[in-house]
Structure 1
Amino acid sequence: MSTDRSRRFRKGFGAAALAALLPLTACAGSDADSASPPPSSITQAAAHTDQQHLSLTIPGTLAAGFAEWQAGMRGRAGMAVMPVGGDKMVTFGDWTTGPAWSTMKIPLTVAALRRGTVNTTYAATAAITQSDNAAADTLWQSLGSSQEAAKAVEAVLREGGDTKTTVPSAKPRADVSAFGQADWALTEQVRFASRLPCLSQTGNVISLMEQITPNQRWGLGAFTGAEFKGGWGPDASGQYLVRQFGLVPTAGGQIAIAFAVQPDSGAFSDGMTALDKLATLVSQHLDELSGGACS
């Protein structure tokens, strides 16, 4: 592939992969782009969509950068990217789903603020900006019985396009919240994030996502104007999962990003550091990613 052609591909990668993906499929067999790039074990990554699996070996792209980063990482990681208001996503990595932890506080807070019971405004602020668990429990209890609360949070997820995630009404583990143990796939989480600004009565929640306390502004917090929420916690053996999702501004609108890391060390600090590096990687390739807006 010539330098000019490679440069054009990199510039158009975001629009093709995130807006339609069809140009990548159509060009695969065309004469214009039939030349194969040089093979490289560190520049190969899989970009998965709901419909297909694409293997990209274009040096300098986000896909290649993610593959190179993951090759040097000890653990599992995954990332999903989708434009706000769009219907196509790209995913990377070998981690796909696991406990939501505190990221589930976003749909929980939406549900509670819509209900508008006493003390929910203060609790919402603490639950999101400080990830306060007691405040989140207050929001959960404001939704009625455990069964009613679970259904209310699920209803917000469905409204946001997540048709698969279920929220347990009972604690799977005595030491953690029920909603935090909901299994939330990156694909469903990023789809929900891409629709969150388009849902009714979510403005206050999104505003709080931009006011995360300084000691939790790792990962997506490095982006100016990012609206995000992190979640982290140990499994039964004490090994930490660290994840985040949110909205990042680009020249063409906002993109939704969800990513997660499960370091082999099991240490929270290693997961946090890994998400910092992933955020840096994304920042270096923002020009490839097509943002969007609510229609």
Structure 2
Amino acid sequence: MNVILNDRPASASYRAVFLSDVHLGTRDCRADLLAEFLRNVTCQRLYLVGDIIDGWKLKRSWFWNAHHDDVVNLILRMGRTGTEIFYIPGNHDEIFRRLLPHRLEVAGIRLCGQVEHVTASGKRFLVLHGDEFDSVVRYAPFLAMLGDRAYTVALVVNRWFNQVRRRLGLPYRSLSQWLKRQVKGALMAIDRFETAVADEARRRGVDGVICGHIHHAVIKDLDGILYMNDGDWVESCSALVEHHDGSMELLDMTDVRRRTGAPSRLASFLFPAGA
């Protein structure tokens, strides 16, 4: 697969936007940044790639503020103004999976188990949340819940860490993401997940896969399959976008310039014509 770097500046108008792992209903959801992002973009298609609402957390305790309302209202407004919206439930909002495989559309939002996205350049991508390729979630739900509790503790520490950084005039940095990068087991688990998802895309005969679930935003070529993870809105605060020419870009909203609403660019790839 011929993939070249595209160093064009970010645009506010996209052919498609992919978001996942927002975890509305939790204190660590950066709904404020996501609402800012949504106010500053337009797109033909919006893909909500799972764990948009955190049903696991809401079962234990209720947390919802004005920023969470803003996110929901902005998504609904996009649907009313012509954006096609696809909701692919994840493991934290698995309650919506009970409505599948029936075709369901509410307020312009289509509920799907998986979808195939075709870019402007004709590339085909399988779009799914990805938890079905996570052996812990799939085969040991109890262990997954224990892991979720430990992750919650890490996010609480992360919240205090960034409060101190704000008081010192320093930008947001994800301590929990840094900790994951230092743990060999976590890196190995990420590699196994990426390989499994890419293998499924290869089996389906598509050009690549777009997913979420592991909160690790990245674009990479895995033996001819383009693996793209759009990250999350708890740690990396990132979104995957397709430009109108079919190029794919990963945007980082943690260092968003609040006066302009312009995100920084994590990675950008262009498929040349005929590639």
TM-score band w.r.t. shorter chain: under 0.3
User: What TM-score results when the alignment is normalised by the length of structure 1?
Assistant: 0.23
User: What TM-score results when the alignment is normalised by the length of structure 2?
Assistant: 0.25
Structure with greater contact order relative to length (CA < 8 Å, sep ≥ 6)? 2
